[in-house]
Chains A and B, each alone.
Chain A
Amino acid sequence: MNDEKQNLIRFLIGLADDSVVLSHRLSEWCSNGPFLEEDIALSNIALDYIGRARMFYQYAVELEGDVRTEDDIAYLRNEREYTNLLIHELPINDFAFTMVRQYFLDVYYCQYLQQLCESSDERIAAISAKAIKESRYHLKRSEPWIKQLSEGTEESKQRIQLALDELENFVGELFLMEDWEKTLVESGIAVDRRQLQKNWDAQVQSFLAESEMTFPESALQIRGGRNGIHTEHLGHMLSEMQYIQRSMPGLQW
């Protein structure tokens, strides 16, 4: 297998890991939502991300020559083999935290996938064209929530601020590139995420300013996800997510 193909597989699995990990986090709200409609909404968004993860995993396993399945990748890798960006794996915390993270990622995915739709790889372009429509809809939902909570009671404001503070150090990694990913940018397959940061900052800052909230630009950028270095939280999450497949190997629906 040549280097470019290997990098492409790595790239696809990274994107799929981002989606599957966030999806699992969102699904933790299922039956625990603040009220029924929110419960349903968060579970549906989780479903969109599962679908997104599957599209990327399926493409990756095809490129590998079908030596393993999408389920093998999701259920039989340990945390150090997972390559998601760290923001996706943070625990759901309270509703404010879940929605702030979702809002940050919705803005990010709308901008990122917009560019990935132009990928020279037709399959990636097609997946992105599908996924971006979903992210735009997610943003229509997360935005008003941030506004409502930021302009709500003292407590809701405080919770939003705590979420902003908590996420401050994890946003930077969205815009950091590994060397192997840069070579994919050169061949027109991937997107230079470094270029997205300015627009992301501008959109988020001006939106938060409307509600007199601020998101400080952090000097500290916690990184490592794409290289398998994670927070303590991912291992706990995977132990729950992979439990059935680990205890009954090969089990199928």
Chain B
Amino acid sequence: MVNLQIPTLSPEFAKRRAHRNESEYQAIWNVLDKVFDPELPGLTIWDLGILQDIRLVDEVYTIVVTPTYSGCPAVDTINSDIKTELAKAGFNEVVVKINLAPAWTTEMMSPAGKAHLKSINIAPPDENDKVICPNCGSENIKLISQFGSTACKSLHQCFDCSEAFDYFKHF
């Protein structure tokens, strides 16, 4: 049987993308595509879904970010990485604002972000928490621990290929 998966866009991500496309600060959005989550190599803060908005008030750019988990220790690093990248591109008046509402969900993640997770052997979030081995595609897996290497991941093992892997929890 052929397993046909129709790629669908979550409404949360569609909304973010529309907002980005309508924004007048395209140059800034593009610079921020060089800012990565320090715990998830190669995943940008845009693809992760935490970069929400860019505003210009009194010649100061405000970058609005929502944290993934409230105690996420990566927030401070992301904050300074944003400022560093923007400074390199010539934007020096920058404030990073941490907004709690709307609360971040994995639905805000981009399809490219989910694909990237899979490529680094992390099972991407699934709205029904159906975990599939990123290594061999098997569904024959077991939960090892509800928390993995970071708060946003749980640890699993595949019965077919024996690989242990992280699952980015649907949240």
Contacts and interface: CB of A to CB of B under 8 A. Distances in A.
B144 interface: yes
A50 B103 contact: no
Interface residues of A, number: 28
B73 interface: yes
Contacts of A127: 70, 100
Given A41-B145, A137-B146, A141-B146, A48 B69 contact: yes
Q: Would you call the interface of chain A mostly helix, strand, loop, or mixed?
A: helix
B71 A129 contact: no
A48 B151 contact: yes
Secondary structure type dominating chain B contacts: loop
B91 interface: no
A120 to B, nearest CB: 14
Given A40-B147, A44-B147, A52 B103 contact: no
A51 B69 contact: yes
A76 interface: no
A50 B69 CA distance: 11
A86 interface: no
Max chain B C-beta neighbours (<10 A), residue from A37, A122, A129, A141? A37
B169 A137 contact: yes
Given A40-B147, A127-B100, A50 B155 contact: no
28 contacts: A37-B145, A37-B155, A40-B145, A41-B146, A44-B147, A44-B150, A45-B147, A46-B71, A47-B73, A48-B69, A48-B70, A48-B71, A48-B151, A49-B71, A50-B71, A51-B69, A51-B71, A51-B72, A55-B70, A123-B100, A125-B101, A126-B101, A127-B70, A129-B100, A129-B103, A134-B69, A137-B146, A137-B171
Interface of B: 67, 69-73, 100-101, 103, 144-148, 150-151, 155, 169, 171
